[in-house]
Chains A and B, each alone.
Chain A
Amino acid sequence: ELKVEQNPLFLSMQEGKNYTIYCNYSTTSDRLYWYRQDPGKSLESLFVLLSNGAVKQEGRLMASLDTKARLSTLHITAAVHDLSATYFCAAYSGGSNYKLTFGKGTLLTVNP
């Protein structure tokens, strides 16, 4: 059974600082997804990582995937308040049903 673990679960940052959120998964998976959720809202797709070594960047966020280490990272550069949200990673567990297993999420708060 695929398990996905994120850390940290809570992250309080100052504006302008850098930080990384880690997403470890327990069994082989070559597809990893990152989502953002604002309070009381739906999940918005951020990145789709489909192969070992994949790196995607959008603004101040950069995601990478290392399938051998079963690890994905979401790096935040020079954080701004607008990045405050909960970030989820999700791994594909294989099979035709395309089930995604989600981590518990990282609540990011960026303080001025």
Chain B
Amino acid sequence: DGGITQSPKYLFRKEGQNVTLSCEQNLNHDAMYWYRQDPGQGLRLIYYSQIVNDFQKGDIAEGYSVSREKKESFPLTVTSAQKNPTAFYLCASRSAGSYDGYTFGSGTRLTVV
């Protein structure tokens, strides 16, 4: 079955560490997105990518970095510069030219310890 796989499901980060969240899709979608979800805050866009080797900052990109070396993969690195990284992170994708909206992965819950 096609879909989006995020891993790990739970991730713990020590102060000052960088961590990378994985997002892989086999839907042949062109565009991929990273959102952060905090309780009562809805979803906020971190980064997005329309094509391989190209990506743009979203509304809250500070302290995060991404890469898009393959169409299927869009990993998100939470750097030590992100002062409040504890949140639920959702990856999404969509097919260019489709009006169907996004398909979401199952999410990664990141906790700072």
A interface, CB within 8 angstroms of B: 4, 9, 31, 33, 35, 40-45, 48, 50, 88, 90, 96-105
Contacts and interface: CB of A to CB of B under 8 A. Distances in A.
Contact of B31 (A33, A98, A101, A102): A98
Contacts of B40: 9, 104-105
A79 to B, nearest CB: 22
A17 to B, nearest CB: 24
B interface majority secondary structure:
strand
24 contacts: A4-B42, A31-B99, A33-B101, A42-B104, A43-B43, A45-B102, A45-B103, A50-B99, A88-B42, A88-B43, A97-B31, A97-B50, A97-B56, A98-B31, A98-B94, A99-B33, A99-B45, A100-B101, A102-B42, A102-B43, A102-B44, A103-B42, A104-B42, A105-B42
Contacts of B35: 102
Interface residues of B, number: 27
B50 A42 contact: no
Contacts of A102: 35, 42-44
Contacts of A100: 101-102
Contacts of B33: 99
Interface in B42-66: 42-45, 48, 50, 56, 58
Given A102-B43, A104-B41, A96 B50 contact: yes
Nearest to B101: A33
